[in-house]
Each structure stands twice: as structure tokens, then as C-alpha cells.
């Protein structure tokens, strides 16, 4: 389908408006207010407040199944350095992951589908808060997303630097890794730095433990499996001449298979129990369970791949691509409902800046193919009744 130029212009304008007012997870009041107002102007049934600031807008058009299309709304705590005219007006916050673009694409699709209505069934346009580390998808589910708005399938997209603009990447399986975090507290015995033999140094234990933790993925997980473990913080001590009582290590691990995820957690616990005592130090670890693997349902992924080929051409659709070790909380929705998630390439004549970069800006050239894909998905999965 050819998307009208005026609609594309409107979607770009909406995107720029959203880009200028970035809000962090569960704080998307201005963002959600604007989106709800636009959706209401299209004539949709708009439901607000799901999972805090989430929105579901419903379009019913005759008999048939129901599906959901999802976009995320939140921004990141990054000071923007893109230099675009519509740059963030909120200091220390910016749309560095393209959620403004995802929302604009879904808004454009909602408006267009309200006008054309070449489908039979029910559409739920889902605008989700707090994707960045705060599990807004789970919050919407807990608040009754699938109970209040029953659907037979749910679909999401994310812009993707590294793929040419307008190309699609999709797997019939894992797309993104699980996310879990850990905090390890090492307790020793404080003493004067000039007399280390009188204490038990938790910093020495921390140094050895950091190196030992890297052997989990290097020596205990098969090279044919996928896992990454990173220690991202070490804290301990306040004075230059004092060996402290405590040291704390924090980090994250990400996996593409649930058994590997469980194995990594067990190995971290084993190392924390076994290694610090050899230095006279005790260790304790706590885990924060984050996001599951973002895993497409095979049948739904194959449907989307075929739709993308028909819409964009086979040369612009890439299957069996390497999954990302980054994470995405759309995983919760895929755990609760059949569906699929795909990447929409972001690289134009020059490569896109990386996601989460202070210099990143969503590529507006993706809005037209994004709207066209949502149209094709809806009109294929919800065909008109004869």
C-alpha cells in the first residue's frame, strides 16, 4: 500500500513533538497525553492508565479475531547531543532508543487503518510505558491488558541500526536475550592499610572474584550457547589508608536459552560461596530477575516474514539473523500471548548512530515502511469477510 504523503508528514511531526518532550519510565504523562489526544481525534476507543501511563486504543471493524500492535513510549536518562532542531527540552533526558519513532509509526498506522478499514476483526493499538529496565510490559499485563483486551496475537517492532533502512530482520525464535542483575557483598575485616596482615581484605577477594566470574562464560558455558556476564560496578572503601570492611560488586548477565540462564545463576552463586572464604572473607549474592528471552512464536514469525517479503521484497527481509544480547520487555507479552517481534533497519546513506547514544536520532525514513508493514500485517492477519 502507498501511504499518503500528508499522513507521513503528520507522523513525522508527531515524532518530532514527542522527541522534544522525553520522559522516563512511568513518568510519560505529557507523552501519553499527546498520544491519547491524537488517538481520540482518529475516532478510536481510548483507554488510559494501564500499567501507570500505558494506553490501549481499540478499533472494531466487523467480525473476526483480535490482534494487538505495540509501541513503547519512554526515554532514557541521557543528555542529548544530536543537535537536531527538535532536540530534547528536558535536561538529562532524551529519546535515544527511538521510542518516539515507534509511537509515531503506530499512530500513523492507527490513523490510516481507521480510514481504510480493509480488515475484519478488532485491533488494539498498545502504547507501553517503561520499557527501559522497568518492565512496563509486565505492569500492563498485571493491570489486565490481556484480560480486558483479549487478543489472539501481539506484534511489535524496533528500529535497528546495523540493518539498511526499511529492511526487516526476524527470527522464528530468540530475537533478544534475557536480562538479570546481581549484587555481591563481600565482608572482610577492616584494618590499617600499612598493616594488612591484621585484617581480611574484601577488595583483594573482589578482584579475584571479578576475574573468576569471567570464567563462567569462557569455561563453563558451551561455546555453542549464548551468554554474556559483565561486572559493571565495584564499590568499597572511603579512605586511602584504610582497608574496608565491605566491597560490593554489581553486574548483569544475559542469555538466549532459559537453561543457560539458570546455569549461569547457579555458577555465580557457587563462586560467591567458594572463593571469598579463601581470603578470610564471606560473600553473599542477591539476584534481581529482569526480562525473559524475547522469543518469537514460530508460526507468527513465519507469517510476519512472508508479509514483509510481499510488502518490501525478498531482498529486504532477513531471517535467521544473529539475536542481540540486549534485552526487551516485549518478552513478557510474548510469554503471555502468541506473537512476534521484528527489527526495522535504521541505516540510511550513513550508518545510524547506535541506540542509547547521546548523538542518536530516529531515522524518519522508517516511518513510511513502518506504517506500510503494520497495514499489511493487519490486512493479512484480519482479512475482510466475504
- Confidence at residue 2, expressed as pLDDT on a 0 to 100 scale: 85
- In terms of domains, do 164 and 306 share one? yes
d(CA 24, CA 281): 39
- In terms of domains, do 79 and 158 share one? yes
CA distances for 357 relative to 79, 97, 175, 177, 241, angstroms: 10, 8, 21, 20, 38
- In terms of domains, do 42 and 183 share one? no
- Confidence at residue 202, expressed as pLDDT on a 0 to 100 scale: 98
Are residues 194 and 241 in contact, defined by beta-carbon separation less than 8 angstroms?
yes
* 28, part of any domain: yes
Residues recognised as catalytic: 74, 131
Instruction: Find the domain containing 225 and state its range.
Output: 178-288
Which of 238, 259, 288 is the last residue in one of the domains? 288
Helix or strand holding residue 118 (H, E): none
- In terms of domains, do 299 and 275 share one? no
- Annotated binding residue 124: no
- Confidence at residue 386, expressed as pLDDT on a 0 to 100 scale: 72
Are residues 373 and 166 in contact, defined by beta-carbon separation less than 8 angstroms?
no
* 51, part of any domain: yes
- Annotated binding residue 356: yes
CA distances for 241 relative to 195, 196, 236, angstroms: 10, 10, 13
> Would you tell me the crossing angle of helices 202-215 and 258-274 to the nearest 10 degrees?
150
**Residue of 263, 265, 274, 285 lying closest to 208 (CA atoms):** 274
- Low-confidence stretches of the chain (pLDDT beneath 70): none
- Confidence at residue 343, expressed as pLDDT on a 0 to 100 scale: 98
- In terms of domains, do 67 and 170 share one? yes
Are residues 126 and 69 in contact, defined by beta-carbon separation less than 8 angstroms?
yes
> Residue 213 sits in a domain of what CATH number?
3.30.70.360
Contacts 24+ apart (CB under 8 A), 212-220: 212/271, 212/275, 213/251, 213/268, 213/271, 216/264, 216/267, 216/268, 216/271, 217/264, 220/263, 220/267
- pLDDT tens, 77-126? 999 999 999 999 999 999 999 999 999 999 999 999 999 999 999 999 99
Q: Is 307 helix (H, G, I), strand (E, B) or coil?
A: helix
Q: Please list, residue by residue across 321-343, b when 16 or more beta carbons sit within 10 angstroms of its beta carbon and e when fewer do.
A: eebbbbbbbbbbbbbebbbbbbb
**Residue of 68, 72, 228 lying closest to 159 (CA atoms):** 72
Please list the alpha-helical segments (H only) found in 183-297. 202-215, 258-274
* 326, part of any domain: yes
Q: Is 108 helix (H, G, I), strand (E, B) or coil?
A: helix
pTM: 0.93
Which of 264, 288, 312 is the last residue in one of the domains? 288
Helix or strand holding residue 39 (H, E): helix 29-41
**Residue of 68, 109, 121, 114 lying closest to 375 (CA atoms):** 109
- Annotated binding residue 132: yes
- In terms of domains, do 244 and 318 share one? no
- In terms of domains, do 49 and 155 share one? yes
- Confidence at residue 385, expressed as pLDDT on a 0 to 100 scale: 76
* 386, part of any domain: no
211's grid cell: 576475574
* 146, part of any domain: yes
- In terms of domains, do 127 and 104 share one? yes
291: β partners: 179
> Residue 364 sits in a domain of what CATH number?
3.40.630.10
Number of domains in the chain: 2
d(CA 168, CA 154): 17
* 315, part of any domain: yes
- In terms of domains, do 198 and 102 share one? no
- In terms of domains, do 187 and 283 share one? yes
* 263, part of any domain: yes
- In terms of domains, do 63 and 139 share one? yes
DSSP state, 259? H
- In terms of domains, do 213 and 316 share one? no
Which of 288, 305, 325 is the last residue in one of the domains? 288
* 308, part of any domain: yes
At 5, phi and psi to the nearest 5?
A: -60, -35
Amino acid at each position: 500500500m502507498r501511504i499518503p504523503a500528508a499522513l507521513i508528514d503528520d507522523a513525522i511531526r508527531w515524532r518530532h513533538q514527542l522527541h522534544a518532550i522525553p520522559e522516563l519510565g512511568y513518568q510519560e504523562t505529557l507523552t501519553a497525553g499527546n498520544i491519547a489526544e491524537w488517538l481520540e481525534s482518529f475516532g478510536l476507543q481510548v483507554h488510559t492508565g494501564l500499567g501507570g501511563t500505558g494506553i490501549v486504543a481499540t478499533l472494531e471493524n466487523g467480525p473476526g479475531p483480535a490482534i494487538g500492535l505495540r509501541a513503547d513510549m519512554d526515554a532514557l536518562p541521557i543528555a542529548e547531543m544530536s543537535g537536531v532542531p527538535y532536540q530534547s527540552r528536558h535536561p538529562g533526558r532524551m529519546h535515544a532508543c527511538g521510542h518516539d519513532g515507534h509511537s509515531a509509526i503506530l499512530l500513523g498506522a492507527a490513523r490510516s487503518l481507521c480510514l481504510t478499514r480493509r480488515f475484519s476483526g478488532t485491533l488494539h493499538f498498545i502504547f507501553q510505558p517503561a520499557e527501559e529496565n522497568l518492565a512496563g510490559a509486565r505492569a500492563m499485563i498485571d493491570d489486565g491488558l490481556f484480560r480486558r483486551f483479549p487478543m489472539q496475537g501481539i506484534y511489535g517492532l524496533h528500529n535497528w541500526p546495523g540493518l539498511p533502512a526499511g529492511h526487516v530482520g526476524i527470527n522464528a525464535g530468540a530475537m533478544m536475550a534475557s536480562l538479570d542483575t546481581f549484587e555481591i557483598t563481600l565482608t572482610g575485616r577492616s584494618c590499617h592499610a600499612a598493616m594488612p596482615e591484621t585484617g581480611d581484605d574484601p577488595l583483594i577477594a573482589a578482584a579475584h572474584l571479578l576475574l573468576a566470574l569471567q570464567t563462567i562464560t569462557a569455561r563453563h558455558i558451551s561455546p555453542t550457547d549464548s551468554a554474556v556476564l559483565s561486572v559493571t560496578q565495584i564499590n568499597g572503601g572511603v579512605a586511602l589508608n584504610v582497608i574496608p570492611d565491605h566491597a560490593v560488586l554489581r553486574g548483569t548477565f544475559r542469555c538466549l536459552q532459559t537453561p543457560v540462564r539458570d546455569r549461569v545463576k547457579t555458577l555465580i552463586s557457587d563462586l560467591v560461596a567458594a572463593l571469598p572464604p579463601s581470603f578470610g572473607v564471606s560473600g553473599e549474592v542477591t539476584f534481581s530477575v529482569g526480562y525473559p528471552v524475547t522469543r518469537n512464536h514460530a508460526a507468527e514469525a513465519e507469517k510476519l516474514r512472508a508479509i514483509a517479503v510481499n510488502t518490501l521484497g525478498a531482498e529486504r527481509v532477513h531471517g535467521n539473523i544473529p539475536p542481540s544480547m540486549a534485552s526487551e520487555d516485549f518478552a513478557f507479552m510474548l510469554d503471555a500471548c502468541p506473537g512476534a517481534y521484528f527489527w526495522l533497519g535504521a541505516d540510511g546513506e550513513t550508518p545510524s548512530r547506535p541506540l542509547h547514544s547521546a548523538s542518536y536520532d530516529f531515522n524518519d525514513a522508517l516511518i513510511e515502511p513502518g506504517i506500510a508493514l503494520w497495514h499489511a500485517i493487519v490486512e493479512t492477519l484480519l482479512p475482510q469477510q466475504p
